Structure 1
Amino acid sequence: MRLVVLGAGAVGPAAAVLAASRGHEVTLWSPSGAGTAGLVESIEAEGAVTGRVTLRVARDLPEAFRDADAALLAVPAYAFPALLPRIAEALPPHLPLLIAPAASLAPLALDALMARRGAPARRPPIGAMATTPVTARRPAPGRVRVAAVRAAVDMAAVPARAAGEMGALATALFGHASPVAPHALHAGLANANPIIHAVLALTNVTRIERAEEWAQYGLMTPAACRMMEALSAERAALARSFGVEVLGLDESLHRANGVPIGPLAEMAAAIAVSRGAVLGPAAMETRYVTEDVPYGLAFYLWLARGRGIAMPVTEAVVTSLETLWGRNLHSNPLLDPLDPAGLDAALAHGFGRDAQDRDA
């Protein structure tokens, strides 16, 4: 297939080289242009995918979408509010789009924007991937290191009935299994990072502010883990109210790092031994707060208000981090076009789609 990858940080180029290694033709587009600066017709891959990989660089969205069979959006959640309106304007009416990871109901927000812009009622689904098909680093502009290729990525879709179809597309592109999830909210709740990262930021704020080096898994102490587990319990109750089951933090760490399941602090200590010193952030402008709180924990609170569910620990953590960071972390503009009261119907059918989707 001809795949266009939107996003040129680390994950986008890594997904591009993985797809190219499987025989697909790939175009890469950077929203700012910085991620593709200096790239012409190839990028050097190392790690789980190796060699010089051919890809095309697009200058703008219309050029990126031209002749494409599928699209993957792989950008940080904080980029969604500015980028989704641009995609809604330019996305061809025949082109299926995957979002990885589909944080904070990004697929539903995009569907709402497309409906408001008069997109055809009969249009392809939007795939909601629970995580990215790869983990990656960008050691140099012309190189990408594919640290790991996922064996499985849960898949939901807008409309919900299309999850199997979008999972088959993702599997064809990237090779991983695509277990079907009930609806796009699963992806917004499945990721454990907002919980782990928020607590690490809260309990290590002075280290971050002083730009000290600190090993994050080594500092997942029993006290910090108690707070993580309390947040996880509130998230699980919220998820169940939508008919979704999410993995506990222990299972998430086990799947991501291969350590035996046990008490969370012991698992973190085992990860620290197996992976070495994985350093936490050393600057206040860190995605652990600027991304994972508004598009993670504050997103949970928005959902909970619509359901009448109390999340006192989550609220306390968000408020504490707001005070420490001196900025509004409750605001999530991605949710502006969505109504929490009508969320169940929107998750099932999307917005402005034809009767086939509404009646499925």
Structure 2
Amino acid sequence: MRVAILGAGAIGPGCAALAASRGHDAALWSPSGAGTGGLAGTLHAEGELTGTFPVRVAATLEEAFAGADVALLTVPAYALAGLLARIAAAIPRDMPLLIAPAASLAPLAFARLRGPGAPVGAMATTPITGRRTAPDRVRIAAIRAWSEMGALPGAAAPQMAALAEALFGNRWPVVPDALAAAFINTNPIAHAALALANVTRIEQRETWGQYGLMTEAVCRLMEALCAERDALAARFGHSPPSLVEALHRTNGVPRGPLHEMTRAIEAGRGVIAGPTEMDTRYVTEDVPYGLAFYLALAAANGQPMPVTEAAVTVIETLWGRGLRENPLLEGLDLANLPALLRAG
């Protein structure tokens, strides 16, 4: 297939290399143009995927979409609001779009901008994890064995899962809709708890290991936030994986008490550094498009979330800024979500 990959941080190039390794033709587009600077038709991969792969650089969205069978959008959640309208205006109506991860009802926001068209895939997370080590080099830390796939409309999930599996080789078990996929990502819960507990380390730019500092107390907060997410998800008939299951899936450690699992992760993987800047995505992305997203859904459906509300309020106070604005939700009837998610 020919795939247009929209986003050129670390995940986009890693996905381009993975798709190319499986015989597909990948075109990479950077919203700012900076992410494709230094790429001249080849991308070097190391880590879980090693080799040199052909990757075309697209200067414009129209060039990226030309001749493509499918598109993958993989950018931080805070970049989605500024990009979805551009993509909706340029993408052919019959081209399926995969969004990884499909945070905060991004597929519904995109469909509202585009109008009727091909299905939108709601990926619970990204096909790979990795980082850029040079303009033409990416280190792929992990190729996920599997992750969930929702879709808009909901019934299109098997079709979108088959597309993603053909492109990247992962398995994509389907979930009922895009909201189910959005609930699965536990980063907002873990990252908010870490930011709260380690704000002075972040502010002082200290070096600290995040798994080692998921102590018993921090894990209690994570579990309380997760319990409120689960209760909200149940209002929509969804049951996302637990934090224990999420850590087990991602890191392979035995299931057990959370703080024991996090100690085992650090013992096995070494120190994974936490953020050292107040402008960290743990707050600027995971609060507005994670915890505050839950609160918006809860308010529209009469679901109390006192711990989540308190956590967001305290983080807003510590960071000295509002963190609840979410342009992806503008114009959406959050009290009528099941019908919107089924029909698209």
User: Shorter-chain TM-score: which interval?
Assistant: over 0.9
Q: Specify the alignment match of 1:267 in structure 2.
A: 261
The offset of 1:337, in angstroms, is 2.5
Aligned residue number for residue 57 of structure 2: 57
Q: TM-score, normalised by structure 2?
A: 0.99
Question: Structure 1, unaligned stretches of length 5 or more?
Answer: 116-120, 351-360
Q: What is the alpha-carbon distance in structure 2 between the residues aligned to residue 279 and residue 222 of structure 1?
A: 19
Structure 2: distance between partners of 1:42 and 1:167: 28
- 2:36 is paired with a residue whose SS is coil
Shift of 1:40: 1.5
Report the 3-state secondary structure (helix = DSSP H, G, I; strand = E; otherwise coil) of the residue aligned with 1:136.
strand
Give yes or no for contact 1:239–1:246 (8 Å, CA) kept in 2. yes
1:38 aligns to what? 38
TM-score of the superposition, structure 1-length normalised?
Answer: 0.95
Q: 1:203 aligns with which of 189, 197, 202?
A: 197
Deviations 1:75-126 (A, max 9, x none): 00000000001011111111111001101000011001112xxxxx4x2100
Aligned residue in 1 for 2:90 = 90
1:353 counterpart residue number: none
Q: Distance in 1 between matches of 2:147 and 2:256?
A: 24
Deviation at 1:276? 0.6
- What is the aligned partner in structure 1 of residue 240 from structure 2? 246
- The residue identity in structure 2 corresponding to 1:95 is M
Runs (5+) with no aligned partner, structure 2: none
Q: Deviations over 1:239-288 (max 9, x none)?
A: 11111111111110011001111111111111110111111000101000
In the other structure, the counterpart of 2:22 is 22
Deviations 1:208-261 (Å, cap 9, x if unpaired)? Answer: 000000111111111111110000000000011111111111110011001111
Tell me the SS of whatever aligns to 1:57: strand
In structure 1, C-alpha distance between the alignment counterparts of 2:48 and 2:216, rounded to whole Å:
34
Q: How far apart in 2 are the matches of 1:175 and 1:205?
A: 39
**Which residue is 2:307 aligned to?**
313
Matched residue, 2:126: 132
Which of structure 1's runs of 4+ aligned residues deviate more than 6 A?
none
Q: Report the AA paired with residue 41 of structure 1.
A: G
Kept in 2: contact 1:113–1:337 (CA 8 A): no
In the alignment, is residue 282 of structure 1 matched against residue 276 of structure 2?
yes
Answer whether contact 1:301 1:315 (CA < 8 A) is retained. Answer: yes
CA distance in 2, matches of 1:7, 1:294: 21
> What residue is the counterpart of 2:5 in the other structure?
5
The match for 1:234 is 228
CA distance in 1, matches of 2:57, 2:160: 25
Alignment partner for residue 178 of structure 2, among 176, 184, 187? 184
Structure 1 stretch displaced more, 232-241 or 339-348: 339-348
Mapped partners of 1:248, 1:156: distance in 2: 18
Partner of 2:318: 324
Count matched residues.
344
Distance 1:258 1:67 in 2: 40
Structure 1 residue identity aligned to 2:253: V
